[in-house]
Structure 1
Amino acid sequence: MTGTPTTSAATPLLEELLARIAADVPGTLGAAVSVHPRGGVLSAAATYGISTAFVPAQLTGSGGPVPVAGRTGVPVVTADVFADDRWPGLTLTGMLDRHPGFAADWPRVRGVAALPATWDTDGLLVLSVTLDRPATEETVNVLRRYERLAAVTLVVAEAAQPDRTEQMLDLLQSRAALEEAKGIIIALRRCDPDEAWSTLRRASQEFNVKVRELAVALVELIAGAPATQPDGERTITPGPAARRAAGRLLRVLEGR
Protein backbone atom coordinates (compact mmCIF):
# COMPACT_ATOMS: atom_id res chain seq x y z
CA MET A 1 0.00 0.00 0.00
CA THR A 2 1.31 3.42 -0.87
CA GLY A 3 0.01 6.86 -0.08
CA THR A 4 -2.52 7.60 2.66
CA PRO A 5 -4.58 4.56 3.68
CA THR A 6 -8.35 4.66 3.33
CA THR A 7 -9.60 5.24 6.85
CA SER A 8 -13.27 6.16 6.32
CA ALA A 9 -14.38 2.65 7.29
CA ALA A 10 -12.20 2.80 10.39
CA THR A 11 -13.03 6.32 11.55
CA PRO A 12 -15.99 5.46 13.84
CA LEU A 13 -13.97 2.68 15.47
CA LEU A 14 -10.93 4.91 15.85
CA GLU A 15 -13.06 7.67 17.36
CA GLU A 16 -14.45 5.18 19.88
CA LEU A 17 -10.91 4.06 20.63
CA LEU A 18 -9.85 7.66 21.28
CA ALA A 19 -12.82 8.21 23.57
CA ARG A 20 -11.74 5.16 25.60
CA ILE A 21 -8.18 6.45 25.79
CA ALA A 22 -9.46 9.82 26.99
CA ALA A 23 -11.44 8.08 29.70
CA ASP A 24 -8.36 6.08 30.73
CA VAL A 25 -5.89 8.99 30.89
CA PRO A 26 -6.70 11.62 33.55
CA GLY A 27 -6.64 15.19 32.32
CA THR A 28 -7.05 14.38 28.63
CA LEU A 29 -7.94 17.40 26.50
CA GLY A 30 -7.45 15.62 23.20
CA ALA A 31 -6.30 12.41 21.55
CA ALA A 32 -5.42 11.34 18.02
CA VAL A 33 -4.40 8.49 15.75
CA SER A 34 -1.99 9.64 13.05
CA VAL A 35 -0.82 7.38 10.23
CA HIS A 36 2.51 7.41 8.40
CA PRO A 37 2.14 4.81 5.63
CA ARG A 38 4.83 3.55 3.29
CA GLY A 39 5.40 6.18 0.61
CA GLY A 40 3.18 8.73 2.32
CA VAL A 41 3.33 11.47 4.92
CA LEU A 42 2.15 11.52 8.52
CA SER A 43 -1.48 12.62 8.69
CA ALA A 44 -4.27 12.56 11.26
CA ALA A 45 -6.64 9.62 10.71
CA ALA A 46 -8.94 10.38 13.66
CA THR A 47 -8.96 13.03 16.39
CA TYR A 48 -10.75 13.80 19.64
CA GLY A 49 -11.15 17.09 21.51
CA ILE A 50 -8.45 19.72 21.17
CA SER A 51 -6.30 17.34 19.09
CA THR A 52 -8.64 18.12 16.18
CA ALA A 53 -6.64 21.35 15.83
CA PHE A 54 -3.46 20.55 17.75
CA VAL A 55 -2.23 17.50 15.84
CA PRO A 56 -2.74 18.94 12.31
CA ALA A 57 -0.88 22.07 13.46
CA GLN A 58 2.08 19.93 14.52
CA LEU A 59 2.04 18.06 11.21
CA THR A 60 1.87 21.15 8.99
CA GLY A 61 4.87 23.15 10.11
CA SER A 62 4.76 23.87 13.82
CA GLY A 63 6.53 20.65 14.82
CA GLY A 64 5.89 18.84 18.08
CA PRO A 65 5.76 15.44 19.78
CA VAL A 66 3.62 13.73 17.12
CA PRO A 67 5.88 14.37 14.09
CA VAL A 68 8.99 13.62 16.19
CA ALA A 69 7.52 10.24 17.20
CA GLY A 70 6.60 9.52 13.58
CA ARG A 71 10.07 10.43 12.33
CA THR A 72 12.12 8.64 14.97
CA GLY A 73 9.90 5.67 15.77
CA VAL A 74 10.35 6.15 19.52
CA PRO A 75 7.90 7.46 22.14
CA VAL A 76 7.95 11.16 22.94
CA VAL A 77 6.86 12.57 26.30
CA THR A 78 6.81 16.18 27.43
CA ALA A 79 5.66 17.74 30.68
CA ASP A 80 5.05 21.20 29.19
CA VAL A 81 4.72 21.17 25.42
CA PHE A 82 4.74 24.94 24.86
CA ALA A 83 7.87 25.41 27.00
CA ASP A 84 9.77 22.51 25.39
CA ASP A 85 12.70 23.77 23.28
CA ARG A 86 12.63 20.67 21.05
CA TRP A 87 9.96 22.34 18.90
CA PRO A 88 10.34 26.14 19.15
CA GLY A 89 7.71 26.72 16.46
CA LEU A 90 4.94 25.26 18.62
CA THR A 91 3.81 28.07 20.93
CA LEU A 92 0.75 29.05 22.92
CA THR A 93 0.56 32.37 21.07
CA GLY A 94 0.73 30.61 17.73
CA MET A 95 -2.08 28.22 18.59
CA LEU A 96 -4.25 31.05 19.91
CA ASP A 97 -3.73 32.90 16.62
CA ARG A 98 -4.29 29.88 14.36
CA HIS A 99 -7.20 28.30 16.21
CA PRO A 100 -9.10 30.88 18.27
CA GLY A 101 -12.05 28.49 18.51
CA PHE A 102 -10.10 26.68 21.24
CA ALA A 103 -9.04 29.91 22.98
CA ALA A 104 -10.38 28.77 26.34
CA ASP A 105 -8.49 25.48 26.12
CA TRP A 106 -5.02 26.40 24.82
CA PRO A 107 -3.82 27.91 28.14
CA ARG A 108 -4.78 24.62 29.85
CA VAL A 109 -2.50 22.51 27.63
CA ARG A 110 0.51 21.04 29.41
CA GLY A 111 1.77 17.54 28.69
CA VAL A 112 1.74 15.47 25.51
CA ALA A 113 2.61 11.81 24.97
CA ALA A 114 3.05 10.31 21.49
CA LEU A 115 3.53 6.56 20.98
CA PRO A 116 4.58 5.17 17.56
CA ALA A 117 3.59 1.62 16.62
CA THR A 118 3.90 -0.54 13.52
CA TRP A 119 1.16 -0.09 10.96
CA ASP A 120 2.55 -1.30 7.64
CA THR A 121 5.98 -2.81 7.07
CA ASP A 122 7.72 0.49 6.43
CA GLY A 123 5.49 2.93 8.25
CA LEU A 124 3.98 3.82 11.60
CA LEU A 125 0.86 4.91 13.33
CA VAL A 126 1.18 7.36 16.21
CA LEU A 127 -1.21 7.41 19.17
CA SER A 128 -1.10 10.70 21.06
CA VAL A 129 -2.81 12.46 23.95
CA THR A 130 -2.78 16.10 25.02
CA LEU A 131 -3.24 16.73 28.73
CA ASP A 132 -3.95 19.52 31.22
CA ARG A 133 -1.06 18.16 33.35
CA PRO A 134 2.43 16.79 32.68
CA ALA A 135 2.62 13.60 30.60
CA THR A 136 4.67 10.75 32.09
CA GLU A 137 5.88 7.27 31.19
CA GLU A 138 2.68 5.97 32.75
CA THR A 139 0.78 7.93 30.07
CA VAL A 140 2.76 6.05 27.42
CA ASN A 141 1.99 2.76 29.16
CA VAL A 142 -1.74 3.45 28.86
CA LEU A 143 -1.32 4.18 25.15
CA ARG A 144 0.53 0.87 24.74
CA ARG A 145 -2.62 -0.95 25.81
CA TYR A 146 -4.37 0.43 22.74
CA GLU A 147 -1.69 0.34 20.04
CA ARG A 148 -2.46 -3.17 18.75
CA LEU A 149 -6.19 -2.42 18.63
CA ALA A 150 -5.50 0.71 16.59
CA ALA A 151 -3.33 -1.24 14.14
CA VAL A 152 -5.91 -4.02 13.75
CA THR A 153 -8.64 -1.45 13.16
CA LEU A 154 -6.67 0.02 10.29
CA VAL A 155 -5.97 -3.43 8.82
CA VAL A 156 -9.68 -4.28 8.93
CA ALA A 157 -10.54 -0.97 7.27
CA GLU A 158 -8.11 -1.72 4.45
CA ALA A 159 -9.66 -5.16 3.99
CA ALA A 160 -13.10 -3.59 3.63
CA GLN A 161 -12.01 -1.71 0.51
CA PRO A 162 -12.49 -3.31 -2.92
CA ASP A 163 -9.61 -5.52 -4.08
CA ARG A 164 -7.75 -5.12 -0.76
CA THR A 165 -8.02 -8.71 0.58
CA GLU A 166 -4.67 -9.81 -0.83
CA GLN A 167 -2.99 -6.66 0.46
CA MET A 168 -4.45 -7.29 3.92
CA LEU A 169 -3.06 -10.84 3.93
CA ASP A 170 0.33 -9.51 2.84
CA LEU A 171 0.26 -7.00 5.67
CA LEU A 172 -0.74 -9.56 8.28
CA GLN A 173 2.06 -11.89 7.15
CA SER A 174 4.57 -9.02 7.30
CA ARG A 175 3.42 -8.14 10.81
CA ALA A 176 3.92 -11.75 11.92
CA ALA A 177 7.52 -11.69 10.66
CA LEU A 178 8.16 -8.34 12.31
CA GLU A 179 6.86 -9.56 15.67
CA GLU A 180 9.14 -12.60 15.55
CA ALA A 181 12.16 -10.48 14.70
CA LYS A 182 11.29 -7.99 17.43
CA GLY A 183 11.14 -10.86 19.91
CA ILE A 184 14.66 -11.90 18.95
CA ILE A 185 15.99 -8.38 19.42
CA ILE A 186 14.21 -8.03 22.77
CA ALA A 187 15.80 -11.28 23.98
CA LEU A 188 19.31 -10.36 22.81
CA ARG A 189 19.32 -6.71 23.82
CA ARG A 190 17.01 -7.03 26.83
CA CYS A 191 15.13 -4.00 25.57
CA ASP A 192 11.47 -3.06 25.27
CA PRO A 193 9.35 -3.51 22.09
CA ASP A 194 9.73 0.15 21.09
CA GLU A 195 13.51 -0.07 21.08
CA ALA A 196 13.39 -3.41 19.26
CA TRP A 197 11.27 -1.95 16.47
CA SER A 198 13.51 1.12 16.22
CA THR A 199 16.57 -1.14 15.98
CA LEU A 200 15.03 -3.20 13.18
CA ARG A 201 13.82 -0.14 11.29
CA ARG A 202 17.19 1.67 11.54
CA ALA A 203 19.00 -1.45 10.35
CA SER A 204 16.72 -1.75 7.31
CA GLN A 205 17.38 1.86 6.42
CA GLU A 206 21.12 1.62 7.01
CA PHE A 207 21.48 -1.52 4.87
CA ASN A 208 18.88 -0.38 2.32
CA VAL A 209 16.74 -3.52 2.52
CA LYS A 210 13.03 -4.01 3.12
CA VAL A 211 12.31 -4.33 6.80
CA ARG A 212 10.09 -7.40 6.29
CA GLU A 213 12.88 -9.19 4.38
CA LEU A 214 15.36 -8.28 7.10
CA ALA A 215 12.94 -9.60 9.72
CA VAL A 216 12.53 -12.98 8.00
CA ALA A 217 16.27 -13.24 7.35
CA LEU A 218 16.99 -12.62 11.02
CA VAL A 219 14.45 -15.24 12.13
CA GLU A 220 15.91 -17.80 9.72
CA LEU A 221 19.46 -17.01 10.77
CA ILE A 222 18.63 -17.63 14.42
CA ALA A 223 16.56 -20.76 13.71
CA GLY A 224 19.01 -22.21 11.18
CA ALA A 225 16.02 -23.14 9.04
CA PRO A 226 13.44 -21.46 6.79
CA ALA A 227 10.81 -19.45 8.60
CA THR A 228 7.28 -20.84 8.72
CA GLN A 229 5.32 -19.02 6.04
CA PRO A 230 2.29 -19.52 3.81
CA ASP A 231 2.86 -20.91 0.33
CA GLY A 232 2.37 -18.88 -2.82
CA GLU A 233 2.80 -15.21 -3.53
CA ARG A 234 2.69 -14.14 0.14
CA THR A 235 5.91 -15.94 1.03
CA ILE A 236 8.57 -13.40 2.05
CA THR A 237 11.86 -14.44 0.46
CA PRO A 238 14.88 -12.45 1.72
CA GLY A 239 17.42 -11.53 -0.92
CA PRO A 240 21.21 -11.78 -0.51
CA ALA A 241 21.42 -8.18 0.73
CA ALA A 242 18.81 -8.84 3.43
CA ARG A 243 20.64 -11.98 4.56
CA ARG A 244 23.94 -10.12 4.78
CA ALA A 245 22.21 -7.35 6.73
CA ALA A 246 20.72 -9.91 9.13
CA GLY A 247 24.17 -11.35 9.77
CA ARG A 248 25.64 -7.94 10.49
CA LEU A 249 22.71 -7.03 12.74
CA LEU A 250 23.06 -10.26 14.68
CA ARG A 251 26.76 -9.64 15.25
CA VAL A 252 25.94 -6.21 16.64
CA LEU A 253 23.20 -7.60 18.87
CA GLU A 254 25.54 -10.26 20.23
CA GLY A 255 28.33 -7.74 20.78
CA ARG A 256 30.74 -9.41 18.37
Structure 2
Amino acid sequence: MTETLMNAADRWRPLTELLHALLERITGELPGCLGVALTVSHGDRAPRVLATTGVAGYLVPAQLAHGGPVAVAAATGVPVTTDGLFGDERWPGLTREVVADGRPGVAEPCAAVRGAAALPAIWDDAGAFVLSATLDRPAGRDALAVLRRYEKLTEMTLVVAETATAGDPDQMLDLLASRAAIEQAKGAIMAVRRCAADEAWQTLRRTSQEFNVKVRELAVALVEQLGGGSSAQPEGTPEIRPGAAARHAAEQLWSAFSTPPAGKPGVSLPGVWVPSPRP
Protein backbone atom coordinates (compact mmCIF):
# COMPACT_ATOMS: atom_id res chain seq x y z
CA MET A 1 0.00 0.00 0.00
CA THR A 2 2.82 2.41 0.92
CA GLU A 3 4.53 1.74 -2.40
CA THR A 4 1.28 2.42 -4.27
CA LEU A 5 0.84 5.76 -2.49
CA MET A 6 4.42 6.73 -3.25
CA ASN A 7 3.96 5.87 -6.92
CA ALA A 8 0.83 8.02 -7.06
CA ALA A 9 2.64 10.90 -5.36
CA ASP A 10 5.56 10.58 -7.77
CA ARG A 11 3.18 10.60 -10.73
CA TRP A 12 1.40 13.75 -9.55
CA ARG A 13 4.52 15.67 -8.47
CA PRO A 14 5.58 16.91 -11.96
CA LEU A 15 2.01 18.04 -12.69
CA THR A 16 1.79 19.88 -9.37
CA GLU A 17 5.09 21.61 -10.12
CA LEU A 18 3.90 22.48 -13.62
CA LEU A 19 0.69 24.09 -12.34
CA HIS A 20 2.60 26.02 -9.70
CA ALA A 21 5.08 27.29 -12.30
CA LEU A 22 2.16 28.39 -14.51
CA LEU A 23 0.54 30.38 -11.70
CA GLU A 24 3.88 31.90 -10.67
CA ARG A 25 4.39 33.12 -14.23
CA ILE A 26 0.96 34.79 -14.21
CA THR A 27 1.77 36.36 -10.84
CA GLY A 28 4.96 37.82 -12.26
CA GLU A 29 3.12 39.46 -15.17
CA LEU A 30 0.46 41.19 -13.06
CA PRO A 31 1.64 44.32 -11.21
CA GLY A 32 0.34 44.33 -7.67
CA CYS A 33 -0.65 40.66 -7.79
CA LEU A 34 -1.00 39.07 -4.35
CA GLY A 35 -2.01 35.60 -5.52
CA VAL A 36 -3.34 33.50 -8.39
CA ALA A 37 -5.55 30.41 -8.32
CA LEU A 38 -6.80 27.67 -10.63
CA THR A 39 -10.21 26.25 -9.76
CA VAL A 40 -11.71 23.32 -11.68
CA SER A 41 -15.08 21.59 -11.92
CA HIS A 42 -16.33 18.61 -13.87
CA GLY A 43 -19.91 17.74 -14.71
CA ASP A 44 -22.20 18.40 -11.76
CA ARG A 45 -19.37 18.39 -9.23
CA ALA A 46 -18.77 21.50 -7.18
CA PRO A 47 -15.72 23.60 -8.12
CA ARG A 48 -12.53 22.76 -6.23
CA VAL A 49 -9.23 24.55 -5.86
CA LEU A 50 -6.48 22.80 -7.82
CA ALA A 51 -3.50 25.15 -7.34
CA THR A 52 -2.80 28.54 -5.74
CA THR A 53 -0.07 31.07 -5.04
CA GLY A 54 0.07 33.74 -2.35
CA VAL A 55 -3.11 34.91 -0.63
CA ALA A 56 -5.27 32.94 -3.07
CA GLY A 57 -4.58 29.89 -0.93
CA TYR A 58 -7.12 31.03 1.65
CA LEU A 59 -9.11 33.63 -0.33
CA VAL A 60 -10.39 31.33 -3.07
CA PRO A 61 -11.71 28.55 -0.77
CA ALA A 62 -13.52 31.30 1.13
CA GLN A 63 -15.03 32.56 -2.14
CA LEU A 64 -16.33 29.12 -3.02
CA ALA A 65 -17.98 28.91 0.39
CA HIS A 66 -19.25 32.49 0.82
CA GLY A 67 -19.36 34.02 -2.68
CA GLY A 68 -16.90 36.07 -4.69
CA PRO A 69 -15.55 36.51 -8.23
CA VAL A 70 -14.44 32.88 -8.54
CA ALA A 71 -17.80 31.50 -7.42
CA VAL A 72 -19.73 33.85 -9.71
CA ALA A 73 -17.50 33.14 -12.72
CA ALA A 74 -17.80 29.38 -12.18
CA ALA A 75 -21.59 29.58 -11.92
CA THR A 76 -22.23 31.95 -14.84
CA GLY A 77 -19.33 31.35 -17.24
CA VAL A 78 -18.83 35.13 -17.41
CA PRO A 79 -15.60 36.96 -16.46
CA VAL A 80 -15.85 38.88 -13.19
CA THR A 81 -13.82 41.80 -11.86
CA THR A 82 -14.11 43.92 -8.74
CA ASP A 83 -12.29 47.00 -7.47
CA GLY A 84 -13.03 46.00 -3.88
CA LEU A 85 -13.21 42.29 -3.07
CA PHE A 86 -14.44 42.94 0.46
CA GLY A 87 -17.56 45.05 0.63
CA ASP A 88 -18.82 44.23 -2.86
CA GLU A 89 -22.62 43.96 -2.65
CA ARG A 90 -22.61 40.97 -5.02
CA TRP A 91 -21.17 38.77 -2.25
CA PRO A 92 -21.94 40.33 1.15
CA GLY A 93 -20.95 37.16 2.97
CA LEU A 94 -17.29 37.48 2.00
CA THR A 95 -15.48 39.52 4.64
CA ARG A 96 -11.93 39.73 5.95
CA GLU A 97 -13.13 38.22 9.22
CA VAL A 98 -14.65 35.22 7.42
CA VAL A 99 -11.44 34.63 5.47
CA ALA A 100 -9.19 34.96 8.52
CA ASP A 101 -11.48 32.76 10.65
CA GLY A 102 -9.25 33.26 13.67
CA ARG A 103 -6.15 31.91 11.92
CA PRO A 104 -2.93 33.72 12.83
CA GLY A 105 -1.05 35.34 9.97
CA VAL A 106 -4.06 35.62 7.64
CA ALA A 107 -5.62 38.92 8.70
CA GLU A 108 -2.54 41.00 7.84
CA PRO A 109 -2.22 39.84 4.18
CA CYS A 110 -5.99 40.31 3.76
CA ALA A 111 -5.61 43.97 4.74
CA ALA A 112 -3.65 44.59 1.51
CA VAL A 113 -6.31 43.02 -0.74
CA ARG A 114 -8.33 45.31 -3.00
CA GLY A 115 -9.30 44.12 -6.48
CA ALA A 116 -9.79 40.67 -7.98
CA ALA A 117 -10.45 39.15 -11.40
CA ALA A 118 -11.80 35.74 -12.41
CA LEU A 119 -11.79 34.27 -15.92
CA PRO A 120 -13.91 31.15 -16.59
CA ALA A 121 -13.11 28.72 -19.42
CA ILE A 122 -13.96 25.21 -20.62
CA TRP A 123 -11.43 22.51 -21.31
CA ASP A 124 -13.28 19.27 -22.21
CA ASP A 125 -16.75 17.75 -22.68
CA ALA A 126 -17.84 18.54 -19.14
CA GLY A 127 -14.88 20.26 -17.52
CA ALA A 128 -14.52 23.95 -16.69
CA PHE A 129 -11.93 26.01 -14.90
CA VAL A 130 -11.51 29.51 -13.47
CA LEU A 131 -8.23 31.41 -13.48
CA SER A 132 -8.31 34.14 -10.85
CA ALA A 133 -6.01 36.82 -9.51
CA THR A 134 -6.09 38.89 -6.32
CA LEU A 135 -4.55 42.38 -6.41
CA ASP A 136 -3.50 45.21 -4.12
CA ARG A 137 -5.20 47.63 -6.54
CA PRO A 138 -8.46 47.83 -8.51
CA ALA A 139 -8.81 45.11 -11.15
CA GLY A 140 -8.77 46.79 -14.55
CA ARG A 141 -8.90 45.31 -18.02
CA ASP A 142 -5.21 44.46 -17.83
CA ALA A 143 -5.89 41.79 -15.20
CA LEU A 144 -8.33 39.92 -17.42
CA ALA A 145 -6.04 40.43 -20.42
CA VAL A 146 -3.16 38.67 -18.64
CA LEU A 147 -5.43 35.83 -17.53
CA ARG A 148 -6.70 35.45 -21.12
CA ARG A 149 -3.14 35.14 -22.41
CA TYR A 150 -2.72 32.09 -20.21
CA GLU A 151 -6.14 30.57 -20.87
CA LYS A 152 -5.00 28.24 -23.69
CA LEU A 153 -1.85 27.18 -21.85
CA THR A 154 -3.93 26.35 -18.77
CA GLU A 155 -6.35 24.34 -20.89
CA MET A 156 -3.53 22.31 -22.42
CA THR A 157 -1.93 21.78 -19.00
CA LEU A 158 -5.18 20.30 -17.71
CA VAL A 159 -5.46 18.07 -20.78
CA VAL A 160 -1.91 16.80 -20.17
CA ALA A 161 -2.73 16.21 -16.50
CA GLU A 162 -5.91 14.30 -17.31
CA THR A 163 -4.17 12.19 -19.94
CA ALA A 164 -1.10 11.46 -17.83
CA THR A 165 -3.15 10.36 -14.81
CA ALA A 166 -5.73 8.31 -16.69
CA GLY A 167 -3.79 5.15 -15.86
CA ASP A 168 -5.52 2.90 -18.40
CA PRO A 169 -3.72 3.16 -21.80
CA ASP A 170 -7.02 2.72 -23.66
CA GLN A 171 -8.56 5.58 -21.67
CA MET A 172 -5.53 7.74 -22.46
CA LEU A 173 -5.97 7.05 -26.18
CA ASP A 174 -9.68 7.88 -25.94
CA LEU A 175 -8.84 11.22 -24.32
CA LEU A 176 -6.30 12.06 -27.00
CA ALA A 177 -8.71 11.11 -29.79
CA SER A 178 -11.45 13.26 -28.24
CA ARG A 179 -9.18 16.26 -27.95
CA ALA A 180 -8.02 15.91 -31.54
CA ALA A 181 -11.60 15.71 -32.82
CA ILE A 182 -12.72 18.72 -30.79
CA GLU A 183 -9.76 20.86 -31.89
CA GLN A 184 -10.42 19.94 -35.53
CA ALA A 185 -14.06 20.96 -35.24
CA LYS A 186 -13.19 24.20 -33.44
CA GLY A 187 -10.77 25.04 -36.23
CA ALA A 188 -13.45 24.38 -38.82
CA ILE A 189 -15.97 26.61 -37.05
CA MET A 190 -13.40 29.38 -36.64
CA ALA A 191 -12.62 29.22 -40.36
CA VAL A 192 -16.26 29.23 -41.46
CA ARG A 193 -17.54 31.80 -38.97
CA ARG A 194 -14.35 33.85 -38.57
CA CYS A 195 -14.81 33.71 -34.81
CA ALA A 196 -12.49 33.22 -31.84
CA ALA A 197 -11.63 29.82 -30.37
CA ASP A 198 -13.77 30.36 -27.25
CA GLU A 199 -16.82 31.21 -29.38
CA ALA A 200 -16.24 28.10 -31.49
CA TRP A 201 -16.05 25.95 -28.37
CA GLN A 202 -19.19 27.51 -26.87
CA THR A 203 -21.05 26.79 -30.13
CA LEU A 204 -19.98 23.14 -30.00
CA ARG A 205 -20.82 22.68 -26.34
CA ARG A 206 -24.20 24.38 -26.43
CA THR A 207 -25.21 22.40 -29.49
CA SER A 208 -24.17 19.14 -27.84
CA GLN A 209 -26.27 20.03 -24.79
CA GLU A 210 -29.30 21.05 -26.84
CA PHE A 211 -29.28 17.84 -28.89
CA ASN A 212 -28.03 15.66 -26.01
CA VAL A 213 -25.02 14.24 -27.85
CA LYS A 214 -21.38 13.92 -26.86
CA VAL A 215 -19.17 16.80 -27.91
CA ARG A 216 -16.59 14.49 -29.51
CA GLU A 217 -19.23 12.77 -31.67
CA LEU A 218 -20.71 16.12 -32.68
CA ALA A 219 -17.20 17.36 -33.51
CA VAL A 220 -16.46 14.45 -35.85
CA ALA A 221 -19.91 14.66 -37.45
CA LEU A 222 -19.52 18.40 -38.04
CA VAL A 223 -16.10 18.02 -39.66
CA GLU A 224 -17.55 15.32 -41.91
CA GLN A 225 -20.49 17.60 -42.72
CA LEU A 226 -18.19 20.46 -43.64
CA GLY A 227 -15.78 18.27 -45.59
CA GLY A 228 -18.35 16.12 -47.33
CA GLY A 229 -16.59 12.92 -46.26
CA SER A 230 -15.03 11.01 -43.39
CA SER A 231 -13.11 12.90 -40.73
CA ALA A 232 -9.36 12.23 -40.67
CA GLN A 233 -8.76 10.94 -37.15
CA PRO A 234 -5.29 10.49 -35.61
CA GLU A 235 -3.70 7.21 -36.59
CA GLY A 236 -3.42 4.72 -33.76
CA THR A 237 -6.24 6.23 -31.67
CA PRO A 238 -9.72 4.70 -31.23
CA GLU A 239 -12.08 5.75 -34.01
CA ILE A 240 -14.93 8.02 -32.98
CA ARG A 241 -18.11 7.05 -34.80
CA PRO A 242 -20.91 9.61 -34.59
CA GLY A 243 -24.40 8.25 -34.04
CA ALA A 244 -27.53 9.34 -35.88
CA ALA A 245 -28.32 11.98 -33.22
CA ALA A 246 -24.85 13.53 -33.53
CA ARG A 247 -25.11 13.62 -37.33
CA HIS A 248 -28.52 15.28 -37.09
CA ALA A 249 -27.13 17.90 -34.70
CA ALA A 250 -24.22 18.56 -37.07
CA GLU A 251 -26.64 18.97 -39.98
CA GLN A 252 -28.71 21.46 -38.01
CA LEU A 253 -25.64 23.41 -36.98
CA TRP A 254 -24.29 23.50 -40.53
CA SER A 255 -27.71 24.65 -41.74
CA ALA A 256 -27.56 27.48 -39.22
CA PHE A 257 -24.12 28.44 -40.52
CA SER A 258 -25.09 28.45 -44.17
CA THR A 259 -28.64 29.88 -44.14
CA PRO A 260 -28.91 32.77 -41.66
CA PRO A 261 -32.34 34.39 -41.33
CA ALA A 262 -32.64 37.66 -43.27
CA GLY A 263 -31.84 40.74 -41.25
CA LYS A 264 -30.35 38.89 -38.27
CA PRO A 265 -26.69 39.24 -37.19
CA GLY A 266 -26.47 35.65 -35.98
CA VAL A 267 -28.40 32.40 -36.01
CA SER A 268 -30.54 31.12 -33.18
CA LEU A 269 -31.14 27.39 -32.96
CA PRO A 270 -33.29 26.22 -30.05
CA GLY A 271 -31.03 26.95 -27.08
CA VAL A 272 -27.99 27.53 -29.31
CA TRP A 273 -26.44 30.80 -30.33
CA VAL A 274 -24.12 30.81 -33.34
CA PRO A 275 -22.02 34.00 -33.19
CA SER A 276 -21.94 36.35 -36.14
CA PRO A 277 -18.82 36.39 -38.31
CA ARG A 278 -16.36 39.02 -37.23
CA PRO A 279 -15.69 41.80 -39.74
Report the TM-score range of the alignment, normalised by the length of the smaller protein.
Answer: 0.7 to 0.9
- Give unpaired runs (5+ residues) of structure 2: 1-10, 262-279
- Contact 1:31–1:49 (Cα < 8 Å) also in 2: yes
Among 212, 217, 229, which residue is 2:221 paired with?
Answer: 217
Residue of structure 1 in register with 2:48 after alignment: 43
1:22: which partner in 2? Answer: 27
State the distance in 2 between where 1:187 and 1:98 align: 54
TM-score (norm 2): 0.76
Question: Does the Cα contact within 8 Å between 1:77 and 1:113 map onto a contact in 2?
Answer: yes
What's the CA shift string for 1:158-193, capped at 9, x where partnerless? 444473443333223222222232234334554433
Partner of 1:3: none
Q: Which has the larger radius of gyration?
A: 2
Q: How does 1:5-16 map to 2 (within 5 A)?
A: 8-16=13-21
Alignment of 1:1-256 (within 5 A): 8-38=13-43, 40-59=45-64, 61-97=65-101, 101-161=105-165, 163-230=167-234, 234-254=238-258, 255-256=260-261
Q: Call closer, same or farther: CA 1:106–1:212 in 2, change over 3 Å.
A: same
- Label 1:192 to 1:209 Cα distance change in 2 as closer, same or farther (>3 A): same
Partner AA of 1:28 in structure 2: C
Q: For 1:210-233, what per-residue CA distance to the aligned partner results, in whole angstroms no more than 9, with x for missing partners? A: 122222222221222221103576
DSSP 3-state at the match of 1:49: coil
Q: Give me the TM-score of the superposition, normalised by structure 1.
A: 0.82
Partner SS, residue 250 of structure 2: helix
Cα deviation for residue 207 of structure 1 reads: 1.9
What SS does the corresponding residue of 1:251 show, helix, strand or coil? helix
C-alpha RMSD of the superposition: 2.8
Paired with 1:218 and 1:100, the residues of 2 have a C-alpha distance of 56
Secondary structure, counterpart of 2:251 in structure 1: helix
1:18 Cα shift? 1.0
Is the Cα–Cα contact under 8 Å of residues 55 and 66 in structure 1 kept in the other structure?
A: yes
Q: Tell me, what secondary structure is at the counterpart of 2:150?
A: helix
The answer for unaligned runs of 5 or more in structure 1 is 1-5
Cα distance in structure 2, aligned partners of 1:45 and 1:77: 21
- Distance in 1 of aligned mates of 2:28 and 2:44: 34
Question: 2:254 & 2:158 partners in 1: Cα distance?
Answer: 32
Contact 1:73 1:198 in 2 (8 A): no
Offset of 1:9 from its aligned partner? 4.2
The answer to whether the 8 Å contact 2:119/2:148 transfers is yes
Output one character per residue of 1:11-64: Cα deviation in whole Å (capped at 9) or x when no partner: 1111111111100111111111122234643211111111101111222x2122
CA drift at 1:195: 2.9
Instruction: Look up the SS of the partner of 1:44 in the other structure.
Output: strand
Change (3 A) 1:129 1:221: same
Query: Take 1:133 and 1:17, find their aligned partners in 2: how far apart are those partners?
Result: 22
Contact 1:34–1:125 at 8 Å: present in 2 too?
yes
Report the AA paired with residue 49 of structure 1: G
- How many matched pairs? 250
SS in 1 for 2:53: strand
- The letter for the 2-side match of 1:79 is D
Distance 1:209 1:32, change over 3 A: same
